[in-house]
Every structure is written in structure tokens, then in C-alpha cells.
Structure 1
Amino acid sequence: MAEQTLGSESGHRLKPRCACGIDVHAHVVPEHFPAYLGSKAPSDWPSTVAAAPVNGLCHRSVMISGKNYRTVSEKCWSVTHRLADLAAMGLQHQAISPMPELLSYWMAPSDAAQLLRYLNEQIAGMVAESNGALIGLGAVPLQDMDLAIAELRYAVETLGFAGVEIGSNVNGVPIGAPQFDPFFAACEALNAAVFVHALKPTGMDRLVGPPPLQQVLAYPTDVGLASASVITSNLVLRRPKLRIAFSHGGGTLAMLLPRLQKGWSVFPALKEQVLSAPMEQARQLFFDTLVFDPTTLAQLVRQFGASQLLVGTDYPFNFHESAPLQQLDAAALDAHTVEQLTHGNARRFLARTFTKANT
């Protein structure tokens, strides 16, 4: 098993660590998108065009509605590059899911179903090529319950995925809304993990600055509200076997949770609606470690519990955590907690037991 020697922020060398980490937050963009099968492609059907190479890597621009949404490198679709980077990051396994903008909730349901089936099969191909290192998290057209559940079943039962990635909202409706309960019931029945990623966040009109502030500030806000909606709708009480995780450390939830807990004890209407203490419900959710700060990470462990945090990197985009295990060391966590966060919790979340051949 490969080992890695990490450097700390203070410049001291840390002892070698086995490359056994599991990353639950990493994305895929295919090199090409399929031609639309209908008579006329919708305006927001994605495509890619060649872009200038950078640092020896091929790049392509993802075009949506005639605009360049993002230019990405071949690491988004190359299993060879991805596996090499995993080892360098101290990781051995990675759950891969589509770039969130590709979830396509705003498309006509039949169009989205066609696109997402292609993405899921692309992910399945990468998983097969990886010889057990990659785990699939697919996508479903949540704007249509019947189609979403059918694609969930295909992803889990046919493609062998551990679960799915969903957005923090579906066309402005938070995922805790009752209309999505049949989908979460199906996830529970199929033992499918659910990874929630920020998508088309609210509050963009309140930001002052360039477009990257969407990722920097608005994403954590939206995922915080999404996780709060799961608590205030009692989703985990209705679906106690559901495994659901939130990106970006749960965003703003850690700061909102004490206020929600206090409000629950003060306002009768809140106590009538929320059937169990918000703090208790929050500790049944999972959260990734993608907060870029060891002090914040240590606080999340105290807030949500050492059993609920999972390594997340946002690989391979520029705004990703390139040394996730170093962040765990810098947070001054005990050895058992580090082991849980490195791989133990992810095994439970993904419901995967890895053999010695691929661990």
C-alpha cells in the first residue's frame, strides 16, 4: 500500500501515512456530450469545444445556452490522471459525480433523463476502468418523480452505483420539501447514499463582486439552507435508514444550528413542526470536510460528531482541496477520529467494504 509523507503549515514533516483515504466529493465532466436524440435540441443542451492546453493538459470549454460555463481539464474525464492524483493526495478511493450544473433540473424531464443516462453511463465506464478505485454517484431528473426513481434504480441496480448526487434545490424548491419524499423513500429502500451539492444558489443578488463569489460564498449558503430544510421537514425521522451527506461542510448549517435549536425551544410553532431536537437530527446527517480551514473542521467534528464527517475535495476543479489529509492533521484530531474521517465514515456512507486487493 502506498504511503505519503505530508508537510504541515509550520514546515515540519509529518509521519508517513498510508494512502487509504476515501474522497466523497469529486466531479466528472465528459470529454464530449451526445447529440440530442429528438427533433430539435433544447438551447441549454451542453456541448464541449476545444480550449487552449494548460500545463500540458488538454482543456475543453463546457458550453451551455451558447455561453462558456466553465473550462475544464482532461482530469475531469481521464481515469489515468485521476488515479495518479489520488495517490499524491493520500487517497485510495474516490466517489465521482457529475459537475452539478449538469444535473439539468431546468430541462424538460425527458430531455434531462436522456442527458443524465449518458452521464451515468460515462461514470460507469470510468468506474470500470479504475479497477475498484472509483465509486459511482449518479444523477437523476428530480423534476419528475417517476423518471427520477427509475433512473435511481438503474444507477444502483444495473450500474452498481453507491448512490446519487442531487442539488441543494430543484428549481428553487428545497430538497426537504414534501414532494421529494417518494424519491428519498426509494433511496432508503435501495440502500442508496445521497450526496447533496449546492446548485444555482439563492442570494446571488446580495453579492458584490465577480462571478466566482457564487462558488465561494453562495454555495455554502444554499447548502446550509438545504440541510436545514431536511431537519425542519423531519426527513431523517421519516427515513431513519437514509444516508444523506452535504457538501462544503454543510455550509452555513453549523452557524445556523444553535439558533435553530434555541428557536425550537422558544417558539411553539417550531416545536410542533420539528418533531425532534434540531441538534439531534443534525447528528444523523453526514458532511464533507471541504472547509479549507483546520479550526473550522475541528468545530464541525464537535458540532456534528466524529462519526459524521467525510473527506471531500471538489477534485479536479481549481477551487479544490489538494491536501485533504493534511487538513485533518492540522485540526489536531485524535488518531481514532482521523481514521474515521479518512475512510471509516465514508465506508458506512457509501455502504462499501473494500477488499485487500483494492484498499
Structure 2
Amino acid sequence: MSLQPCACRGIDVHAHVVPEHFPAYLGAHVPAQWPHTVAAPAQGGLCHRHVMIAGQQYRTVSEKCWSTPRRLADLPGMGLARQVISPMPELLSYWLAPADAHALLRYLNEQTAAMVADSGGALLGLAAVPLQDLSLAIAELRHAVEALGLVGVELGSNVNGVPIGHPCFLPFFQACEALDVPVFVHALKPTGMDRLVGPAPLQQVLAYPSDVGLAAASVITANLLLACPRLRIAFSHGGGTLAMLLPRLQQGWQVFAALREQVQASPLAQARQLFFDTLVFDESTLRHLVDRFGPGQLMLGSDYPFNFHERTPAQRVEAAGFDGATVSALLHGNAERFFGLTPQAIP
């Protein structure tokens, strides 16, 4: 049965916000990477702004990025009851000096919390933290959860080239586990750009899935979930390339002694403890992910409101031919478990 707009029940865990304006830099010398926005021509009856980073136009965004009413108006047509919002990944600012990044991300977290407060319970928010400085990152994580009421944290797939599974980040993940804060990992500044032939959008189309797949693999090969067994961690874009890499990793673990010594539990078993979004734009791929990772590990994702997003994420799941229990799990049950919600929390 197709999901009708009047029967909205999905929870979208992958949607982004960009503030209409960024704060002025208060120091002596503005960092080149400090973002700002400038007015752009209106389109389709919506206000637009150019996001400027390092003197270049990074992306043009509509008011759906910062307007709670505009966002809420689109949820029914997407089959959604709730949406989890997080900053546009390019704003995570790992490349800024830690103090500068902390100031910017505090502002973003406050903006996210304000949108959540204005949503009547329809929106939930993810924090951003300056992961280039673990002490600041843990302090901001605690503030975002305890003072602002955000329900999780968004991390990039790498921090200035260091994959998210690297042992240097273990103290942060231990803090997430201790605070019971789930983690959503999004592709960011991907590797392999020199191997692409074509225009700039190929970064999002081809390089993002590669980087997030390697990030998920790094979590497995670093035994992160063995060190933090209560950690809940999810990966964007269906886990990217991980589903195709996993059989090779499993076979290599059985063949190579060095891999068996490093990876302390079956890669396949570890992968089935990770979570993933459904943002793959294809029903057969979605069925493959459910078969590979299990029906309890996937959650709706849309990448709303950017142009390259899944317009009908709930309908995509319902069209994939799953049984009713799996459909309910993917639409909302897994997200409820991931974020510690209850079924009654859906408006």
C-alpha cells in the first residue's frame, strides 16, 4: 500500500540546515574559511542566499534551510511525521582554529535548537562539535545535549583527512557513549577527487559515497564498537560503498593473519551493529542494504532541502516490496530506537 500524505509516520534522520546569516567574526583577522551569506535572486517564490566560503560561492540555498514553517509545510508530502536536522556538513569547520570553530558551531547549535523549539515537536536537532580539539568537542557535546536539548551529534567522515574510526577519536566516542548520545556520520571533503572526470557535482554524486564507506570501514577495523559497545552510530548515503566492500573485508579477515590480529571481531558482525540511512535513490539497492545489514539498521534519509535530495523517502521504502514489519522499522521504528524515542512521540 502506498503511503498517503495524510498517513505521515516517517522520521527522516538526514536533513540539513543553513542559517540565513552567520555571526560576524569578533577576532582581529577573519579566517579565510569563515562562512557568510549574501542575497541571491528569488526562485519559485522562495528567498535564496549564496553561501560564501573562502571568497567562493559554495552553494545557493533557499529559505527552507532556515525557515521552520517552510520546512514543516513539506513534511506531509514526503510522508514524514518528524525530521532530524543537522548543519550542512561544510559548516563543521574542522579546518578552522579550534576556538574559532567552537564559536561558529555554538552559534549553529543555537540556531538548530531554535528551529526545534519552533516546530511543535516535529523537528529534532543534531549538534556540531569542533572535533579537531577533543576537549572542546566533548564540552560542546555536553552543552548541546544538556543545555540546548539536541538529541545527537553530526560528525564528518574524516577530520582533516583522518578517518573517523582512527583511535585518536576514541575519547570523544566514549563521551558519546557515557552521555547516551547517538552519532550520525556524514561524508565530508572526500578522498579520491583527483580520480573523477567531470564537473564539480561529482563530488556529491560519486566521492561522497566512497568516503563514507571508508569511514564506516575504519570504525570496523578500529574495533570501535568493541571499545564502546553501547555506542549508536549511523552513516549517511546508505553507508556509501561499505555494502560492496564488506564481503572483501570479511574474506580478507579470514585469509590474512595481520587482519585477523587487528580486527578483533567479524567485520560482518560488526557492520550489522551500525546504522545507515536509506538515501540510495533505488529500491533494489535498498533491498540489498536490508539483506546485508538487517532490517533493524536502516532509517529514512532525504538530504532535504538541497536540490540533490530524495523527494519522497517514505514512499521509496514502501515501494521496495518489504513486509509490513520491515516497512514500519525503516519508516520510524529504527529511528525511534536510535534516538531513544517512543512511538507515542510521533505527532
The equivalent residue for 1:213 is 202
The equivalent residue for 1:58 is 47
Is residue 2:88 matched to residue 1:99? yes
Question: Distance in 2 between the 1:310 and 1:324 partners?
Answer: 10
- Native 8 Å contact 2:5 2:77 kept in 1: no
Aligned mate of 1:248, from 237, 254, 258: 237
Is residue 2:77 matched to residue 1:88? yes
Relative to structure 1, the CA distance from residue 178 to residue 341 in structure 2 (aligned partners, 3 Å threshold; closer, same or farther) is same
Q: How do 1:160-175 residues align onto structure 2 when only pairs under 5 Å count?
A: 160-175=149-164
Is residue 2:112 matched to residue 1:141? no
Cα shift readout 1:223-281 (whole Å, capped 9, x = no counterpart):
00000000000001110110000000000000000000000000011000000000000
Cα shift readout 1:17-71 (whole Å, capped 9, x = no counterpart):
7201000000000000001121221111100000001101000000000000000
Is residue 2:5 matched to residue 1:24? no
Relative to structure 1, the CA distance from residue 15 to residue 171 in structure 2 (aligned partners, 3 Å threshold; closer, same or farther) is closer
Is residue 2:324 matched to residue 1:335? yes
The equivalent residue for 1:222 is 211
Question: Distance in 2 between the 1:332 and 1:353 partners?
Answer: 26
Using the size of structure 1 for normalisation, the TM-score is 0.95
The equivalent residue for 1:9 is none
The equivalent residue for 1:10 is none
TM-fit CA distance, 1:353: 2.5
Question: Distance in 1 between the 2:296 and 2:282 partners?
Answer: 19
Cα shift readout 1:90-126 (whole Å, capped 9, x = no counterpart):
1011110000000000000000000000000000000
Cα shift readout 1:171-212 (whole Å, capped 9, x = no counterpart):
000011000000000000011010000000000000000000
Question: Distance in 2 between the 1:23 and 1:116 partners?
Answer: 23
Q: How do 1:1-359 residues align onto structure 2 when only pairs under 5 Å count?
A: 6=2, 18-353=7-342, 355=344, 358-359=346-347
TM-fit CA distance, 1:322: 0.6
Amino acid at match of 2:105: L
TM-fit CA distance, 1:355: 3.7
Question: Distance in 1 between the 2:55 and 2:78 partners?
Answer: 36
Consecutive unaligned residues of structure 1, counting only runs of 5 or more, are 7-13
Question: Distance in 1 between the 2:151 and 2:222 partners?
Answer: 25
- Native 8 Å contact 2:127 2:150 kept in 1: yes
Cα shift readout 1:141-186 (whole Å, capped 9, x = no counterpart):
0000000000000011111111110000000000110000000000
Runs of 4+ deviating beyond 6 Å: 14-17
Question: Distance in 2 between the 1:171 and 1:108 partners?
Answer: 12
The count of corresponding residues between Structure 1 and Structure 2 is: 347
Amino acid at match of 1:348: R
Segment drifting more, 320-329 vs 93-102 = 320-329
Question: Distance in 1 between the 2:252 and 2:85 partners?
Answer: 37
Question: Distance in 2 between the 1:274 and 1:216 partners?
Answer: 30
Question: Secondary structure of 2:70's partner?
Answer: helix
RMSD: 1.2
TM-fit CA distance, 1:354: 5.5
- Native 8 Å contact 2:78 2:315 kept in 1: no
TM-fit CA distance, 1:87: 1.2
Question: Distance in 1 between the 2:284 and 2:145 partners?
Answer: 37
TM-fit CA distance, 1:16: 7.3
Question: Distance in 1 between the 2:166 and 2:91 partners?
Answer: 22
Question: Distance in 2 between the 1:115 and 1:16 partners?
Answer: 37
Question: Distance in 2 between the 1:143 and 1:73 partners?
Answer: 30
Question: Secondary structure of 2:75's partner?
Answer: helix
Amino acid at match of 1:214: Q
Question: Distance in 1 between the 2:149 and 2:306 partners?
Answer: 26
Question: Secondary structure of 1:307's partner?
Answer: coil
